[in-house]
A and B are shown apart, each in its own frame.
Chain A
Amino acid sequence: MNFVQNFPFFSILLSLGSGVLTSVMNKTAARLWNTFILIVIGIMSAVLFLYLFSTGESYTFMMGHFPAPWGNEIRAGVLEAGMALFFCIVMLLSIKGGQKHIDEEIEETKINLYYIMINLLLSSLLALIYTNDLFTAYVFVEINTISACGLIMIRQNGHTIEAATRYMIMSALGSGLLLLGIGILYDITGHLLMSNIKESVAQLAQTSGYKVPLIAAIGMICVGLAVKSALYPFHTWLPDAYGYSTVSSAAILSSLVSKGYIFILIKIFYRVIGFDVILNSNVLNILFVFGLAGMIMGSVNAMQEKDIRRMIAFSSVAQIGYIYMGFGLGTTAGIVASIFHILSHASSKSLLFVSAMGLTDASGKSKRFDDLTGSGFRNPAAGIAFTMGACSMVGIPLFSGFISKLLFAQAAVENSLGKMLPTLICLAVSTVLNAIYFMKTVICIYTPIRKKTQDGFPVVKNTSSYNVVLLLMVVLNMFLGCCSQFVVNWINAGLDMFG
């Protein structure tokens, strides 16, 4: 076995172990160690990615000494390795971008605890990406939830605690359904490893045995994960959680945490149930309807917000709707578009949160649009970065958002299940709404100040690391937008390896 093949296991263990280590470090050491770990894991994922790309084959890695039907397994393909690399990059940039606020807003003695949460979150995300065992996935889903809850409530105010409570309630509902679904699936197939379940499910589908329990299990797993990733009617905790927590938390939560659940859902579609069986069960139609509702309602809610952070948060609801709409199309093209949107949304949403932090800092920490007027002049770097992020969300060419909208539209046109018209209409309406509220914000931050009362805001000097982070995030976004063919080929290759 090649040494590189150990890397998924190393990266999960490394981040899990450093979570324990950082608890005894002081805040500077914890910060440096966390950065170091993120870079190391990023490099390992990159090496693994290149290795898998050259061999062109995925592999399974035995955890412990028991072979396939009994033991636990890790599985890595190009899609998994690339996702791990991407998550590391976005996480590192989000933390570095919000560093100033982490140091200001969190109590002095609790800063190292923040890095524990980050490390646990990273390890759970990596485990969700790599695991080949359904029950392990459940356990890491819970670890993901708990550490995300810690990220929300580490900045102590009434809003974050309430948001964390609501988040925990919704997540508990979701994970209850997920666990019961996994229980039923184990009951009718007798396996917990993904590939073994798939074989049994294929047999069951052929003989049409256990039809009702199979549909019940699929429904419970899909709904459970949809609830956890804040699909439209279950999003009530989201605006408060993203709006009042510290910036890095908001960026990580919106761009990574909900994406972890969505990624495990994709894995379940392809590697556990099998895409044909999922299609026949009609569960995707339900996700499709809720996705469309989310696209419209999230944008409508975002338009009514007077608070920039909450507006960006509601925009996340709409984007999650896009992703589920892509699943609902029920074609591989739809899934590819959804995966591309995961990347595109993660890169632009973290950019928006981090640049909004620069704008609010230049407006006396106020997040209201009245005070943000003209902040683009007071903090030029953040203003430009925010404009670019907004362009990406609206779908201007050169940015990643354009490509994901294009892919969604193409997938919708190729769709033969009669979903073309509703998809295209909702896509158009949602894009217009996106444009209205994002361009309104951009116009607002570039409106020269007239009122006397606002003269008091000082011109804020950004730290150089903050400017570099903004630049890198813009570059990441434009890379996704300009080299989209490479990314789409990569996603297709990864999905082929799934099967």
Chain B
Amino acid sequence: MGANLIANYGEAVAMILFGIGFSNLLLQKNLIKKIIGLNIMDTATYLFLAEKGYIEGRLAPIVVNDIRSAEAYINPVPSGLVLTGIVVSVSVSALMLSLTIRLYRRYHTLDIDKISTLLKKDESMI
């Protein structure tokens, strides 16, 4: 168990980071901190994928010097997945940040629970 953890320390770090990001996104009240949590969580997933694709001692999957055997290179698919994932996470972060700006302009606070209470007050006044 312990030896496995040390051998796969990259994956272990990725899981710890995922946990940190996940709990921040779930539990923080401040919207900006939530978004930071989201980014940590996504990055942890990319670290996990990249660790899985990497094979010790092999080259990046780009043909130079005419080495054409598949054994010479690492697995390129996870890198492709990471790139796609980055695009997705950038757009989600951008959307969340723009929502945060709109909420801040309206309610002058970043605390999502305070915003909810303000909204409830609005409703009871009508």
| B118: A residues at CB distance < 8 A | 158
Contact A179 B45 (CB under 8 A): yes
Q: Are A142 and B88 also in contact (CB < 8 A) when A161-B102, A162-B115, A173-B22 are?
A: yes
| B122: A residues at CB distance < 8 A | 158
CB distance from B96 to the nearest CB of A (A): 5
B residues neighboring A (CB under 8 Å): 18, 21-22, 25-26, 31, 34, 38, 41-42, 45, 48-49, 52, 77-78, 81, 84-85, 88, 91-92, 95-96, 99-100, 102-103, 106-107, 112, 115-116, 118-119, 122
Contact A146 B116 (CB under 8 A): no
Contact A165 B48 (CB under 8 A): no
**A137-176 interface code vs B (CB 8 A; 1 in, 0 out):** 0110010011001000100001101101110110011011
Number of interface residues of A (CB under 8 A): 28
- In the bound complex, how far is the Cα of B48 from the Cα of A320, in angstroms? 32
B105 to A, closest residue via Cβ: A161
Other-chain residue from B34, B38, B99 in contact with A164 (beta carbon distance below 8 A): B99
| A166: B residues at CB distance < 8 A | 112
**3 tightest A-B contacts by CB?**
A142-B88, A176-B41, A165-B99
Q: Does A180 contact B (CB under 8 A)?
A: yes
Contact B45 A180 (CB under 8 A): yes
Q: Does A135 contact B (CB under 8 A)?
A: yes
| A192: B residues at CB distance < 8 A | 77
A residues neighboring B (CB under 8 Å): 135, 138-139, 142, 145-146, 149, 153, 158-159, 161-162, 164-166, 168-169, 172-173, 175-177, 179-180, 183, 186-187, 192
- In the bound complex, how far is the Cα of B98 from the Cα of A164, in angstroms? 11
Q: What are 26 A-B pairs at a CB distance below 8 A?
A: A135-B81, A135-B84, A139-B88, A142-B92, A149-B95, A158-B107, A159-B119, A161-B99, A162-B103, A165-B96, A165-B99, A165-B100, A165-B112, A168-B92, A168-B96, A169-B26, A169-B34, A169-B96, A172-B41, A173-B25, A176-B41, A179-B85, A180-B45, A183-B48, A183-B52, A187-B52
| A158: B residues at CB distance < 8 A | 103, 106-107, 115, 118-119, 122
Contact A168 B84 (CB under 8 A): no
| B48: A residues at CB distance < 8 A | 180, 183
CB distance from A88 to the nearest CB of B (A): 26
B82 to A, closest residue via Cβ: A183
- In the bound complex, how far is the Cα of B95 from the Cα of A153, in angstroms? 11
| B41: A residues at CB distance < 8 A | 172, 176
- In the bound complex, how far is the Cα of B119 from the Cα of A161, in angstroms? 11
CB distance from A394 to the nearest CB of B (A): 29
| A164: B residues at CB distance < 8 A | 99
- In the bound complex, how far is the Cα of B41 from the Cα of A165, in angstroms? 18
- In the bound complex, how far is the Cα of B84 from the Cα of A135, in angstroms? 9
| B112: A residues at CB distance < 8 A | 162, 165-166, 169
| A172: B residues at CB distance < 8 A | 25, 38, 41, 92, 96
A165 to B, closest residue via Cβ: B99
- In the bound complex, how far is the Cα of B116 from the Cα of A180, in angstroms? 31
Contact B99 A183 (CB under 8 A): no
- In the bound complex, how far is the Cα of B35 from the Cα of A176, in angstroms? 13
Q: Are A183 and B45 also in contact (CB < 8 A) when A165-B31, A165-B112, A176-B18 are?
A: yes
